Structure 1
Amino acid sequence: MGLSEARTREIVLGYLQREARRNRQPRQITVQDARQLQTWLVVFWLNQDLQARISRFLRLGGGFSGRRRADMRDYLIGRDQETDKYEDKGLQSKARAQIPESVLDISRRPEHGNFSFELEQDDILALNLVRWFKESFMRWIDPITCPECSVETQFESTLTGGELNEEDRKYGAGRVEMHRCKADPSHPIRKFPRYNVPEKLLETREGRCGEFANLFMLFLRSVGLDARIVHNQEDHVWNEYYSRSAQRWVHLDSCEAAFDTPLMYELGWGRKMSYVLAFGVEGAQDVSRGYVADYHEHGWERRRKWDEQDLAEKLAAITTGRREILSETRQTELAERDEKQEAWMADHEGRLRVAQGSNDTHKARKSGTKEWRAMRAESGAGGGKSFAISTLHTKLNPDHTLRSVDDNLRLGGSARRADHYLILTPNETSQIGTAFVSTSIPSTSSFVVEVDFRITLSPGQDQGADGMAFVCLQQQGDIPAQLSGEGGAGLGYDGLGGSGDWATEIDTYQTVDRCNDPPTPHISLHSPPKSHHRHCIAVTPPFSLPDLSDGETRTLRIAMNAESETVQAELIIPGEMEEVLPLWEAKLPSSGMMAGSSKRLLGLTASTGGIAQAHEVTRFDIWDLSRKSETDA
């Protein structure tokens, strides 16, 4: 048929998307439908690779594990139960007393703003409230300053579990961040407890998006607005209120003082989202279609964490449980609201037209430091800096290859050779494998590394199992005896090296509790080499990478410029037309590197935890750019 793989994939996924997602109600099959299906079947059966990919995407045979269903259920129940805390009348009165009368004055229309519907009193109140909350009441915590001298601090550690004090536990702080003064480390530590109780947040009045949305929900309820809290799986949270004028739920983001700009996260921030779920005291709803600009084209492809039917059934059960105690009149009213909300979300083209006419929708994120926004890839849809790693080195033989380092390659743990490739971990659980080579590259010299890697899941498995990393350590003297870090979420490198050392991780399993991981797969730069993302200085945007656990061989190219102390990374995807994906370019933190006589100790690590996955390397080439410069001279 002469169709490229990309076009074949587009046809098949396009057909599946339209028929399995958009058409929620049964209908008569048309002649056009039949022809599309015929095309789909022909293409599908002629492309075995595509069959495997589609089968994998739809979880044919293996299905979703009981563990993932349980995790989903616990997550939804937890989010649902949290909405009750905003209904405390005494707490609502305390919050309302904080609101100035000028904010409650709904007799004056806003002096500026571009609105897609006629504002009535409730709408004016919500708009006044979100602007006042952002501009006058709540304070974004970063940068965190020293309590003694007001100089910026740096993150030092996190307290959890038994390390928390009584007040932390009382007010729902599951963790406490510890920050130390950059100017004088002897100054008192600045603590930042992540409180989850609105009453305490009324007192502290500081935080990030979680604290903002948490407390703002209380203010919305305190003035009598029907409100919900909205959780996005890509680590953001905001609110909605119900507008009788618009006859739908209206987006409010108190971090940005944003009003009715639901597509700003994708069209403004440049974020790619999967699940967006709203929770209130009268039910829960999947509102992803209202916030994901490309939902009908690619957005639904990113929804791989939970089974769609399971999710819909659990949200419906939560809603039914919430509403069965309400009067019939109220239940009917809410059912009509649901229908109108569904109709609004289904009008994809209409929502896009409104968004295109709104300047606010296309604004980059304002809250947070510049470095923090860049690390989260939220500096704007077009704010990324493009770059390309020079390929001049490829015209010369590498200084080190898998074959040339036979006598100088230190293997550890499960790592072993197999013919002409390297197995870091076999397809088994609880494995750690490492492979390091002591190079002759001085710590003050630049270098390029290319790694051909292959990550393969166990048959029937539907998610990745931890991952692998490239590690750069400074070596002075003999190779250390211990060259293995923590397993599981540590990817085999966590704990190796210190200041001045770094690692690039290829992470295929999202570990939120231990590492605060963004969605996987992701490729990120960490310095010092620790897997928790507070040490991350660059990361690929969510859903910007293909599936990296599919058994296909890909190339990770990393360039380290010693003069500027920057690291660049690219992912090379083979095929008829080789595709090169620039991943990131980042400056390493100031480190006080060892003397120039020290060498580079470069290596690869990988690990698995409770899920099996094979990590294999077919090529590991290293170019010493300082030696190439000498040759050129």
Structure 2
Amino acid sequence: MDQSKDAKQIQDLAQQLATQFTAMRPMPRTSASTSTVIRAPAAASDTNITQLAAQLSQLLSHTVPAEQEQHQGEPTTPTADPFAAVPDPSIYEKEFTDVYLNVNASVLRFEDRELLDLASDQMPIGKFFEEAEGMAKDHPDDSIDDIVVRRLLHWFKNDYFTWVNQPPCASCQATTIATGAVAPSAQERQDARYVHDTTDHVWTEVWSDHKKRWIHCDPCEAAYDQPLLYSTGWGKTLSYCVAFSAEEVVDVTRRYTVDYATAVLKTRRSIREPVLAKYLHFLSESNLARLGLDPGEVQEVRQRQRLESDELSTTHADVRTVETQDRVSGSDEWTKARGERR
């Protein structure tokens, strides 16, 4: 098996898929009176993606890492596709999966090096490390890097970010109404993930090398490692929480709910569960292949995925007091209307 040729084909296909994802992302164009969403022609894009996905899936299911062949010293049976018998999204489910297609395209844009540098320039990173060193004794279970994330959340919430409900127009001072979105700022790296919640809230996760797990981080609340905050503290009904990064896409709903197998599954009616699992797996493998990582880096990603899979398969321990707090950001009227305040 020509591993270098297969790896090049996989990377080329992944790059083409990424281009298709990005092209399909809605780009809002707004004016004083109208709002228009521009999208690439659906039929052409969908056809291209379907064809590229089929080629990529075939390569991924039959490609064996070179070092595995060398270590075993004998022919290796191609890995079976675990989703071979699972159908693609139906026409009724496609509207739901298109949301994830667009979110994934946005997250891939976060990797722009220039934007990442501009975002870093806004943060007093040296100060975060100095503060973390001084706080180490107060957080014995955290590494310095973990405490730096805590300081970043505190800084964002209290010094950098200002919460607004309906900001006044800069020209006439009248109340504004949201009409669309613009390209996101870059605050995600390969060790951080953007979590999309279908009930209209977003947050981040940061990988802790010290704890060997993904840590929930909500800058708007300055909340660190409080995954049950939304379902137990705010009383929010969560159905689909999916984490996106440049290297993977993962359904993490179990992390943010205590009754997934009983109550949560009953609310998940937008798409068949096997179809969702297949679609997210496809996005995840496409993102990873696109990066062109060396075998050691891929192995590190796979190890993280195994650790996370084990974590998500276990039930939550007792809810901590810090996870039962009401929402801090936003007006009472606004948060109650969103079902985010008891």
> TM class by shorter-chain length?
0.5 to 0.7
| 1:394-429, Cα deviation, whole Å (9 max, x unpaired) | xxxxxxxxxxxxxxxxxxxxxxxxxxxxxxxxxxxx
1:508-519 matches, within 5 Å, as none
2:93 is paired with a residue of what secondary structure?
A: helix
The code of the aligned residue for 1:266 comes to: S
Question: Is contact 2:198-2:241 (8 Å) kept?
Answer: yes
Partner in structure 1 of residue 96 of structure 2: 72
| 1:90-116, Cα deviation, whole Å (9 max, x unpaired) | 21111111112322434232686xx7x
- Aligned partners of 1:236, 1:285: CA distance in 2, in Å? 17
Q: Which of 150, 154, 159 is the aligned partner of 1:127?
A: 150
**Is 1:109 paired with 2:76?**
no
Tell me how large the CA RMSD over aligned residues is: 2.4
Q: Which of 100, 105, 120 is the aligned partner of 1:81?
A: 105
Partner in structure 1 of residue 51 of structure 2: none
2:199 is paired with a residue of what secondary structure?
A: coil
Higher strand share: 1
The code of the aligned residue for 1:254 comes to: P
| 1:181-212, Cα deviation, whole Å (9 max, x unpaired) | xxxxxx643446554324xxxxxxxxxxxxxx
Question: Is contact 1:229-1:279 (8 Å) kept?
Answer: yes
2:255 is paired with a residue of what secondary structure?
A: helix
1:66 is paired with a residue of what secondary structure?
A: coil
- Aligned partners of 2:92, 2:157: CA distance in 1, in Å? 37
Shift in Å, 1:295: 0.6
Question: Is contact 2:136-2:147 (8 Å) kept?
Answer: yes
Larger radius of gyration: 1
Shift in Å, 1:313: 0.7
Higher helix share: 2
Partner in structure 1 of residue 266 of structure 2: 301
Shift in Å, 1:257: 0.7
Question: Is contact 1:126-1:220 (8 Å) kept?
Answer: no
Partner in structure 2 of residue 90 of structure 1: 114
Partner in structure 2 of residue 371 of structure 1: 333
Question: Is contact 1:64-1:306 (8 Å) kept?
Answer: no
Alignment length (residue pairs): 251
- Aligned partners of 1:144, 1:189: CA distance in 2, in Å? 9
1:197-208 matches, within 5 Å, as 197-198=183-184
Partner in structure 1 of residue 182 of structure 2: 196
Shift in Å, 1:135: 1.0
**Distance of aligned partners of 1:146 and 1:125 in 2 relative to their CA distance in 1, 3 Å threshold:** same
- Aligned partners of 2:98, 2:294: CA distance in 1, in Å? 28
The runs of 5 or more residues in structure 1 that have no matched partner are 1-62, 149-186, 199-214, 381-633
**Is 1:142 paired with 2:168?**
no
- Aligned partners of 2:187, 2:137: CA distance in 1, in Å? 23
**Is 1:226 paired with 2:195?**
no
- Aligned partners of 1:363, 1:147: CA distance in 2, in Å? 35
1:9-28 matches, within 5 Å, as none
1:330-345 matches, within 5 Å, as 330-345=297-312
- Aligned partners of 1:111, 1:256: CA distance in 2, in Å? 24
- Aligned partners of 1:121, 1:306: CA distance in 2, in Å? 41
The code of the aligned residue for 2:273 comes to: E
2:309 is paired with a residue of what secondary structure?
A: helix
2:216 is paired with a residue of what secondary structure?
A: strand
- Aligned partners of 1:147, 1:323: CA distance in 2, in Å? 42
**Distance of aligned partners of 1:94 and 1:138 in 2 relative to their CA distance in 1, 3 Å threshold:** same
Shift in Å, 1:352: 2.7
1:182-193 matches, within 5 Å, as 188-191=173-176
The code of the aligned residue for 1:259 comes to: Y
**Is 1:247 paired with 2:216?**
no
The code of the aligned residue for 2:200 comes to: D
Question: Is contact 1:143-1:369 (8 Å) kept?
Answer: no
- Aligned partners of 2:89, 2:270: CA distance in 1, in Å? 11
1:87 is paired with a residue of what secondary structure?
A: coil
Q: Which of 264, 288, 298 is the aligned partner of 2:253?
A: 288
The code of the aligned residue for 1:341 comes to: E
2:284 is paired with a residue of what secondary structure?
A: helix
Work out which structure has the larger RCO, using CA pairs closer than 8 Å and 6 or more positions apart in sequence: 2
TM-score of the pair, normalised by structure 1? 0.37
**Distance of aligned partners of 1:266 and 1:188 in 2 relative to their CA distance in 1, 3 Å threshold:** closer
Shift in Å, 1:220: 4.9
- Aligned partners of 1:370, 1:339: CA distance in 2, in Å? 41
Identity percentage of aligned residues: 28
**Is 1:347 paired with 2:318?**
no
**Distance of aligned partners of 1:270 and 1:99 in 2 relative to their CA distance in 1, 3 Å threshold:** same
Question: Is contact 1:110-1:124 (8 Å) kept?
Answer: yes
Question: Is contact 1:263-1:291 (8 Å) kept?
Answer: yes
| 1:243-293, Cα deviation, whole Å (9 max, x unpaired) | 111211110111111100001111100011111100000010000111111
Bigger mean CA deviation after superposition, 64-73 or 364-373? 64-73
The runs of 5 or more residues in structure 2 that have no matched partner are 1-86
